[in-house]
Structure 1
Amino acid sequence: MFRWFVRAAVAVLAMGAVQSSAQEQTPLSAESFTREPAIWSATLSPDGRSVAAIQRSSQGDVLTIIDWRTRTAQITQLARTDRNLRLDWVAWKNDNRVVFSLTQEPVIRNQRIITEGSTRVYAANRDGSNATLMEAGGARHASAYAPIFVIDLLRNVPDEILLGSYSANGFAVYRANIGTGRVTSLVDFGEYNTAAMYVDSNGYPVMRVDYLTDNSGLRIYRRSPRQRDWTLAHEIRRSSASQNRFFEPLGSGPGPGQVYVAARSEGEEFQSIYLYDTATGNLGNPVFRHEGADVAVVWFDRNDHSVVVGCGEMQRWDCRAMTPDRQSLLDALRRHLPADVDIALQDVTADENFWLVSAHGPRSPASYYVYDRQNDAISFLASTQPQITAQNLAPMRIVDYARRDGTRLWGYLTEPTTPGPHPLVVFPHGGPESRDSYSYDFFVQYLAWRGYAVFQPNFRGSEGSGRSFATAGYRQWGRRMQDDISDGVQNLIANGVVDRDRICIVGASYGGYAALAGVTLTPDLYRCAISIAGVSDLVEMLNHERSEEGRGSAAYSYWLQVIGDPSANRDELIAVSPARHAADVRVPVLLIHGEDDSIVPLEQSEIMRDALNRAGRNTQLIEIEDEGHIWGAWSREHRQRLLEETDRFLAQHLAR
């Protein structure tokens, strides 16, 4: 089924596959903001001479080997789009050989699967020759379409990698030779519901993650090296994971039987990084923690498995190195790059002379650079969105404000570069136990490009600011959480930042609920609202969740805690359900919803549309065919339509 995977005719491109940092720019449009990344999975060769990456071409995904000094690139593999193939990632095994993942997408016609999809792993020489399929057990697969994936590259083993696949006996872990592709040994078996295995520094599986049979959570097992029997370490259910313990395996520790985990112990406000002992189950003391935020990012030395840098995400990333030498590296990178970007370490050579980093910020879609530490010089490699430059994008700033009870809150404000005050789009995030970040957002930047200021409030109930802050939003839908949004808007008005007569509230998922609540509970504050896959009736939404998941399910229990009980708290829920107050709406409302949304059903937007129609209010429902809940995962065409419909609606209702 992978017969259409083709080694490309070797082509050496001068400035073709590698972007110029000063490319000619074509005029922007909605399409410009919805393109897929032009490059991803960049990784530095062990000797630091080359970068392997996957790039997008008119024919499909190409694997390129880039000489970053001469800015030339060699295309070595092509996965043709017209054959439903895509390249997922690439990694160096050694200076001459790379490992990469290839997926064949399923072919679906008239809602019928014509051809199953699957994923395979290949190894190839840096020039594209000797491309070898990793067999991972051959006929012992559970089916011909069972995916194969890499568990560990086994950096200390010259010619082997560790693979995982679903076999007739359950989840199987194999060692395979990168030259021949053949299995050299069967390492271990899991269960049919095993989702992942984690190995220690010797490549031995010491931690296993299984889905619960009712898909309500995870079981995490541990064992000491060379033991066969597993011991249950944690059971994490959806109903309790968010407010109590948090435990996520990250990767190999420096010694046998050690795995790094991100965890939040009972009673702790923030999650930290621990070195977990799989033999004893001892979490020990944190190896990295941030006093004011969850640890959002951590980088490990791939040679000795030590922690290099950890970052807590507050209003921006706050990154700290574990040694003075590596802190000097971070400081040097900050000197070379703009002040409004945050830096992520991607790869490093064994001698630490060459570092591959990515930089991202509100006006900078992620871009790759190579840093030569010995010469203190940095070289631009490529941008994930080369059609957009900082000159096209609007700056973001952090706005602090006090809500009505004196609580200090903050949010992000993105303002067009033209003179203000500007019309304002209030853009609360989904979740609600999620957060916005100081980074590039295609939706925010498109609106700013069209002349709107965009406010993203960090209301109570958001994650990242501690458990107390998150749980302060429990059962506060339409109440404190909505007040936090309204108070942020009033602060901007009071400071003359925005045009008070031209404010619209727009959001997706929980943000869609907040948009509808905004125009029903505070009808004088907004000129219009757009709800994308939003909840409109809390009682009906909870009834749907109970019907789909079961009264005793962990998912339903979680929403009872977060929203309320439709039996015991029915009146309180009706009081903050926008569809029950449609007659209070005084402004136009646009509803957008994916037809295949399995999280917030389309019915929620239909309920709101019907209620607004009965009340004689101005509304429209746009149904997006074949799309689900996560709008960022919609097709490029549908993301573009989302931007254009939003712009059309705002232009109509926020005009002077």
Structure 2
Amino acid sequence: MPALDTIPLIPREHLFGNPTRAQGQISPDGKWLSWLAPHNDVLNIWLAPRDNPDDARAMTSATDRPIRQHMWSPDGTSLLYIQDKAGDENFLLYRVDVVSGEETTLTPFEDTRVQIVGSSETIKNAILVGLNNRDPQWHDVHRLNLTTGELELIYENNAFAGFMADDTLTLRMAMAQNDAGGTDYFRFDGNSVEEEPFETTAMEDSMTTSPAGYTVDGSVLYWLDGRGRNTAALYAQDTATGERTLIAEDDKADISGTLRDQKTGEVLGYTVTYLRREFTALDAGIGASFDFLDGKLEGDFGISSRTEADDTWIIWNDPLTAPAKTYIYDRKAGTLDPFYVARPELEGAPLQPMHGIEIKSRDGLTLPSFLTLAAGSDPDGNGKPDAPGPMVLLVHGGPWARDEYGFNSQHQMLANRGYHVLSVNFRGSTGFGKDFINAGNKQWGLAMHDDLIDAVEWAIEEGIAARDKVAIMGGSYGGYATLAGLTFTPEVFACGVDVVGPSNLETLLSTIPPYWAPMVKIFHERMGNPETEEGLALLKAASPLYKADQIIKPLLIAQGANDPRVKQAESDQIVGAMKDAGIPVTYVLYPDEGHGFAKPDNSLAFFAITENFLAETLHGRAEPLGDVLEPSTAEIVEGKSHVKGLGG
């Protein structure tokens, strides 16, 4: 592909290193701006006055693991964030006082995972949290005073997977999985839960039906509901009478989110995402604001933070072929001011457009998919390359999740290196209605995998992919799909990259985190029940471990040692089986990571190894490894010789 030689190589650091800024927010009173940015090379929380953004100071001092999520306390006096240890997903809640800078651990417990159960528009100094420090399987509900740090037990839980509260921080609902694999919803009567559920779902509706919260006065409960239909629609339920009113629906995709009035809790608009994200306003003022923004911004946008008065919004903007930008939108003044560019080093970089496409499966399902063509391969911009070339099938995790349209660092790196990149929403993916999800039930390694193979065949027939130069790559379920691809269909793929992917579905289900136990029935119904002879046989047949001797193509495996979802044993098992069979494999282990790689140094090391691994087989280009591994904790357990630059 000669044109590729004339296109600059985008440095890995620009795509996967620390962003300059991220996750911009505004305080409830509109006086402060906050964001994440490097402090001593680690992402921390920063703060600046709204009227003087340059007067910024770091509010936290994380030195090892980056802070990846932060929020404002309802009263605006403090910043909150959650953090785990080395990827163990035992997230604790921390508070930083805006004035003094004093930091407090609000949930000072070991081996505990905090959940936010409820917050309030009228009670500003408290929230409800769930803590599993008494029993790792169950989250007890506590009222947390954000000022004093006092925790008051509200409900000791020995039965329920989740809760919902109203604006008074009173528990109104408890959820439990039923024997069918669906969900039962119970009302609270004072401090106790009623014996009979007031709403229930079957297994088929469990992933498209959920309560979406109460209005502030508690008179209306919103639902995203797929019962009696395919796609999830938005309903309002009168809490006194139980009467339900349909607000919005879409034939192709679920209603995926709502925008609420912060004073009343009423729905002002909703989002539907099929191939592209579409917002529909139900309020004239909101509609006018979105029309204004649509006229000012290129690409997709949305609200990431709002003041209590709703007069100022922080707007994210994905221009798609330029780095993400964030703006401050003053609704009263009608001004849109730049806040920051997330990765300014990507300004002017040769970023490639993404194409939303529909692919037909062999049994007639429509698979919403996303294609990014290799840099330089489509000079006339018609969405088709001039000639077939190497392709990476990039498979999403979950599997009960989805791929979406927009800037994607992995797509951009791979396309810049000379590969077409295809991401497929295979059956079992969420967002496209319950029929699409349920078509994946008990289809791991079967029809779910067939969808991926059908997408590859589509790309070959369309003149996009060269048949002998297709790689498969992904994390979590995508890692499983990689292993399945190289074991079940070894002739299809030239190589594979598996990140934290399970190799043995039986051991995967036997080692789930304890706080997932209340929901284990859904795994049995959708994957196979290891407690039955038929289910166990299904799980074993779908486990790549037992077909490891079928692997004939190069394989790269990356694993976090502290992963609570897909244990290190999942990677160890298949690496061991391949070694026993005399099959080469490259295995990279990160001792301080979990289900994916949070530290930029580790992420950079992984993608450096990956692009050089792919270059060996697919013959794309790669930025040399250089000294990228030195600051990372990556341990090359097996197969250094299979990656250019790693050595023997």
TM-score (norm 2): 0.76
Shift of 1:557: 4.0
Shift of 1:347: 1.5
- Aligned pair partner of 2:262 in 272, 279, 302: 302
Can you list the C-alpha shifts for 1:464-494, whole angstroms capped at 9, x where unaligned? 1111111111222233222211121122222
Shift of 1:335: 1.9
> Would the aligned equivalents of 1:595 and 1:625 in 2 still touch at CA under 8 Å?
yes
- C-alpha distance 363-205 of structure 1, shift in aligned 2 (>3 A): farther
- C-alpha distance 380-92 of structure 1, shift in aligned 2 (>3 A): farther
Determine whether 1:641 maps to 2:605. Answer: yes
Corresponding residue number in structure 2 for 1:418: 376
- C-alpha distance 163-145 of structure 1, shift in aligned 2 (>3 A): farther
Q: Which runs of 5+ in 2 are unaligned?
A: 1-7, 135-139, 378-384, 621-648
The secondary structure found in structure 2 opposite 1:285 is strand
The secondary structure found in structure 2 opposite 1:81 is coil
Corresponding residue number in structure 1 for 2:553: 587
Can you list the C-alpha shifts for 1:350-370, whole angstroms capped at 9, x where unaligned? 3x6543221236545653212
Shift of 1:413: 0.7
1:24-63 pair list within 5 angstroms: 28-44=10-26, 51-58=33-40, 61-63=44-46
The secondary structure found in structure 2 opposite 1:79 is coil
- Which moves more between the two structures, 385-394 or 453-462? 385-394
Shift of 1:153: 6.6
Shift of 1:586: 3.3
**Which residue identity is paired with 1:331?**
D
1:155-554 pair list within 5 angstroms: 155-156=121-122, 160-164=124-128, 171-173=141-143, 189-191=154-156, 198-201=164-167, 203-207=168-172, 209=174, 221-223=186-188, 227=190, 229-231=192-194, 243-244=205-206, 248-260=210-222, 262-276=223-237, 282=242, 284-339=244-299, 341-344=300-303, 346-347=305-306, 350=309, 354-360=312-318, 362-363=320-321, 366-373=324-331, 376-389=334-347, 391-419=349-377, 420=385, 421-537=388-504, 541-542=505-506, 545-546=509-510
**Which residue identity is paired with 2:363?**
D
Q: Distance in 1 between matches of 2:480 and 2:209?
A: 30
The secondary structure found in structure 2 opposite 1:437 is coil
- C-alpha distance 520-31 of structure 1, shift in aligned 2 (>3 A): same
Q: Which runs of 5+ in 1 are unaligned?
A: 1-25
- C-alpha distance 557-271 of structure 1, shift in aligned 2 (>3 A): same
The secondary structure found in structure 2 opposite 1:74 is coil
Can you list the C-alpha shifts for 1:547-588, whole angstroms capped at 9, x where unaligned? 7799x9766543443333562266666655434444444322
- C-alpha distance 582-555 of structure 1, shift in aligned 2 (>3 A): same
- C-alpha distance 80-498 of structure 1, shift in aligned 2 (>3 A): same
- C-alpha distance 606-254 of structure 1, shift in aligned 2 (>3 A): closer
Determine whether 1:121 maps to 2:85. Answer: no
- C-alpha distance 123-272 of structure 1, shift in aligned 2 (>3 A): farther
- Aligned pair partner of 1:653 in 617, 620, 623: 617
- Which moves more between the two structures, 566-575 or 507-516? 566-575
- C-alpha distance 296-361 of structure 1, shift in aligned 2 (>3 A): farther
Corresponding residue number in structure 2 for 1:16: none
- C-alpha distance 520-90 of structure 1, shift in aligned 2 (>3 A): closer
**Which residue identity is paired with 2:264?**
D
Which structure has more strand as a fraction of its residues?
Answer: 1
The secondary structure found in structure 2 opposite 1:643 is helix
Corresponding residue number in structure 2 for 1:562: 526
Corresponding residue number in structure 2 for 1:625: 591
The secondary structure found in structure 2 opposite 1:592 is strand
Q: Distance in 2 between matches of 1:59 and 1:621?
A: 27
**Which residue identity is paired with 1:314?**
Y
**Which residue identity is paired with 2:17?**
R
- C-alpha distance 172-489 of structure 1, shift in aligned 2 (>3 A): closer
> Would the aligned equivalents of 2:17 and 2:601 in 1 still touch at CA under 8 Å?
no
- Percent identical among aligned pairs is 22
Q: Distance in 1 between matches of 2:337 and 2:282?
A: 25
Q: Distance in 2 between matches of 1:555 and 1:41?
A: 31
Q: Distance in 2 between matches of 1:151 and 1:559?
A: 24
The secondary structure found in structure 2 opposite 1:378 is strand
Shift of 1:455: 0.6
- C-alpha distance 122-147 of structure 1, shift in aligned 2 (>3 A): farther
Task: Give the number of aligned pairs.
Answer: 590
- Which moves more between the two structures, 306-315 or 341-350? 341-350
> Would the aligned equivalents of 1:40 and 1:53 in 2 still touch at CA under 8 Å?
yes
Q: Distance in 2 between matches of 1:614 and 1:134?
A: 51
Q: Distance in 2 between matches of 1:575 and 1:223?
A: 44
> Would the aligned equivalents of 1:208 and 1:221 in 2 still touch at CA under 8 Å?
yes
Q: Distance in 1 between matches of 2:517 and 2:104?
A: 40
Shift of 1:219: 7.7
> Would the aligned equivalents of 1:64 and 1:73 in 2 still touch at CA under 8 Å?
no
> Would the aligned equivalents of 1:371 and 1:379 in 2 still touch at CA under 8 Å?
yes
Q: Distance in 2 between matches of 1:148 and 1:505?
A: 35
Shift of 1:431: 2.0
